Structure formats: structure tokens, C-alpha cells
Amino acid sequence: MNLYMIEACPFVHRVLLACEVRKISKELIRRTTIDLNRPPAEMLKINPSGSVPTLIFSDGQGFHESLVIMEFLDSLTAAGPKLYGNTAKECAQTKVLWESANSILLSAVQQAIYSFGNVNSVRSANEKLKAGWEWLNTQLNKPEAPYIGGNELNAVDVGLAPFLLRLRYAAELHPSIPMPSAGSRAGEYLVRMTERCLSGGIFPDEEIMRATTQKFALPHSLFKAVQDAPRTLIDHPHEAVKSEAEQLSAWTVEEDGHGFCLKALFKFSSHSDAVNKLKWLHDAQEICDHHTSFSLRDFDSIEITLVTHEPRWGVTRKDLTMAKLLQTYFVKGQLPS
Ligand SMILES: N[C@@H](CCC(=O)N[C@@H](CS)C(=O)NCC(=O)O)C(=O)O
């Protein structure tokens, strides 16, 4: 068997940690590091999404999804304890516990990590995290048992670990993220888990983990460009738009009684797609600290006006930079990586 992976992926780390717990050798499951931008053809054949981890067998068959792979590892004969338990009843109980871990703790941890500089999102994650740490304290209520699984990690510990470790790095950039207090059971669990994952050489170097995590905690460079763009009025907005015709092709300069403004109409594939884009626009405005005037048209289109009111009405550098950001996301469906 061959595990297709990249070095710094938390979902891959679940599988590597699971192999360590189960004592599954690198000979039984070999590791192939891939380029996520160019996944190998044999991997795309069984996992067209191109995501890692993906497990491939010698006959070319295989599957992806970290939790599915973890469950499969329990079917192998190996010296280490099983992740889900030894009986059908234990497996069912572990899966029910995982559902709570995922919805109460992990979703909040992921929201805090993958904030992309969205302070609203961090704020709401922080509230959920407090409840998450309480849940974790309750799970760790057996004094002799260092892990949720008891003396050894189970599927719930393994599913959480890569993300719990990364939360620290996000908290370095967003100090409002609440971490469990040092003396609490959850706090001690975090220290224990971090030592285990980092010392065993299971996860990459801290510096790699920090850098790859913090990339998701900061605004994308196109958001940053809007934040940094000056609010200076442009005297000839028609020419400014023409000079960046490709990136601003969706926008027209219009003039009303007050002065110039930028307008665009973006059409989406469905009503729900348009509503999702409105949610994205709402967050984008908060991250950029720059606001637009927008309305939903014909259920599937968004009409946007970009203009600066103060100190004088008109189009500024910040408006133009915001226009480029919106066009990139609304036309391409994603921001460049
Ligand atoms: N639900 C998947 C998520 C895997 C995932 O998102 N992996 C990332 C790398 S950390 C990836 O492959 N992204 C590229 C893609 O989805 O195309 C799992 O649990 O395995």
C-alpha cells in the first residue's frame, strides 16, 4: 500500500499518527510525497478531487478521506491497539464520541485556524472554543488516563491532534483565541499531545507547521492589497479602469449627481451560489475594512457599487483595488494560491 501525501497537511498527519499508534510499518504502508498542484494520474484516477491523504493499493485501487483511511487501518493486523475499539459496540461508541468532538471542539478549532484574517470569524470561533475546552475537560475525567482513548490515543484523539497542535500558531497571530489554562486537564492534554506528535518525528518541524498554519490565519494578499491601498481620489477613473482592462473588465465608471462611481453586475450559476457569494462579500468587507453597496438581482446576480463618500465623493485607489479583488473571486470562483 502507498500513502499519497504532502508534508504539511493535518489530514495526512492523522493517518501518520494513526500508523504510529497501530505500529504499522513504513514497509507495509509506503509514503509518496506529491505536488498538490500536479497530482499523479494514478491518484486522480481513484480520487479526482486530487486531495491527500489518498491510499493506493498495488492493484491500482484505493480511496481517500483521512477518517476512512484510519478506519481501514484498524482492519490490518498490527501490534498497536485499535483506534476505534475491539468490538462493534466499542466502534459505535467511538464514532458517536467523534461526532461530539467534531461538532463541539474541532469545528471551532478549524474556524479559528482557517480565519484568513476575518476578525468576525475569529470572534465567533472564540465563543465556541470556550465550550469546546469544557467538553474536552469533561472527556478527560479519568485521572489515570492521559488520553480520551485511555492509556493510548484512540480515533478521537488522532482526529483532533493535528488541529489542536496548530491552534497555538494561529493564536500567536490572534491572541484573543482562548487556549485551555495551563493546569486544566485540557491544558495538560495539549502539552502531552504536542510533545508526543513533535518528538516522535511524526509531524514535520515546528517551523514548517507554524508557517503553513499562519498562512491560513492572515488575509490573502489580495485582501491585504485593499487594506494597504490609499484612499486618494482618482481624477480620471475612466482611464484608470481602461489601463487595467483585463482585471477590471466587469466594471464600468458611472457618474451621478455626486460624482464618479464604479458599477458591476456579477451573475452566478444559481440562487444559492449567489447567496454564498453575498456571505463571502460580507466577510471580505470586514477583512478589508472597506464597504460596498450591493443588492441581489433576479435571484442569481449581485449588483455592486463601489464609491468613496468621505472626504469627497469619488473613486479612490482603494475602490479600484477592491474592484479587482471582487472580480477575481466572483469570476474565477477562488483567489489565486
Ligand atoms: N476531508 C479530507 C480533507 C483532505 C484535504 O483537504 N487535504 C488538503 C491538503 S491539507 C488537500 O488535499 N487539498 C487539495 C484539494 O482538496 O484539492 C480528509 O479528511 O482527508
Structural domain that includes position 34:
1-80
Query: Would you give per-residue pLDDT tens digits along the chain (337 residues)?
Result: 999 999 999 999 999 999 999 999 999 999 999 999 999 999 999 999 999 999 999 999 999 999 999 999 999 999 999 999 999 999 999 999 999 999 999 999 999 999 998 888 899 999 999 999 999 999 998 777 899 999 999 999 999 999 999 999 999 999 999 999 998 999 999 999 999 999 878 899 999 999 999 999 999 999 999 999 999 999 999 999 999 999 999 999 999 888 999 999 999 999 999 999 999 999 999 899 999 999 999 999 999 999 998 888 999 999 999 999 999 999 999 898 7
Bond into 219 cis (ω within 30): no
**Closest ligand 1 atom, residue 36 Cα:** 14
Residues 101 and 163 in one domain: yes
Q: Do 322 and 229 have their domain in common?
A: yes
- What is the CA angle 72-76-81, rounded to 5? 95
Q: Is residue 337, in this structure, part of any structural domain at all?
A: no
234 in the same domain as 202: no
- Which among 47, 52, 66, 160 is the best mutation to test ligand 1's pocket, defined by most ligand atoms within 8 Å of the CB? 52
Alpha carbon nearest to ligand 1 atom 10, residue: 9
Q: Which ligand 1 atom sits closest to the C-alpha of 69?
A: 20
Q: Is 51 in the pocket of ligand 1 (CB under 6 A)?
A: yes
CB of 66 within 6 A of ligand 1: the answer is yes
- 119 with 178, same domain: the answer is yes
Task: Quote the ligand 1 centre to 52 CA distance (angstroms).
Answer: 5
Instruction: Evaluate the CA torsion angle 177, 183, 184, 189 in order and state its sign.
Output: positive
Distance CA 179, CA 130 (A): 8
Residue 4 Cα, ligand 1 centroid: separation in angstroms?
11
- 115 pocket-lining for ligand 1 (C-beta < 6 Å): no
Cβ neighbours of residue 310 closer than 8 Å, sequence gap 6 or more: none
Instruction: Give every CB contact of residue 88 below 8 A, 6+ residues apart in sequence.
Output: none
- Count structural domains, the chain: 3
Determine if ligand 1 sits within 6 Å of the CB of residue 334. no
Sign of CA dihedral 210, 113, 24, 60: negative
